[in-house]
Amino acid sequence: MAYCIMALQITFLLILWVTVLILGKEDKYTTKYDNFDVDTVINSPRLLKNYVNCVIEKGSCTPEGEELKRNIPDALQTDCSKCSEKQKQLTEKVLQYLMENELDYWKLLQNNIYYAVVH
């Protein structure tokens, strides 16, 4: 009888451990694009325009753009709590660039993203 109880306790702990591992991973955005070259995008007016149009739903999206567009509202609402450190660095770099060099895009994104978060 004691063996059965101990086996059930161990099984329960293993299930709990696996659940924590699985759910822990779901609490973060995919890191698949963490090595995405944002410098190429911000230094190419054509690429930058395409990504902005993707996010504001005025153009088609690359897989990276689709992932970005899908996660922006949640990232803003949770203060990027699901972002990896690399994602936070890349985001900061792009936002800084937009605020300093592409104010029209920055305002356009702010208005569109605010609408997506509120609705």
The predicted-structure confidence for 22-43, as pLDDT tens digits, reads as follows 334 458 999 998 999 999 999 9
Question: What is the mean predicted confidence (pLDDT) over 105-111?
Answer: 90
Question: What is the mean predicted confidence (pLDDT) over 58-76?
Answer: 91
For residue 2, name the pLDDT band (cuts at 50, 70, 90).
low
Is 21 or 62 the better-scoring residue by pLDDT? 62
Residue-level pLDDT at 7: 40
Indicate the pTM of the whole model: 0.71
Q: How many angstroms separate the CA atoms of 115 and 28, rounded?
A: 24
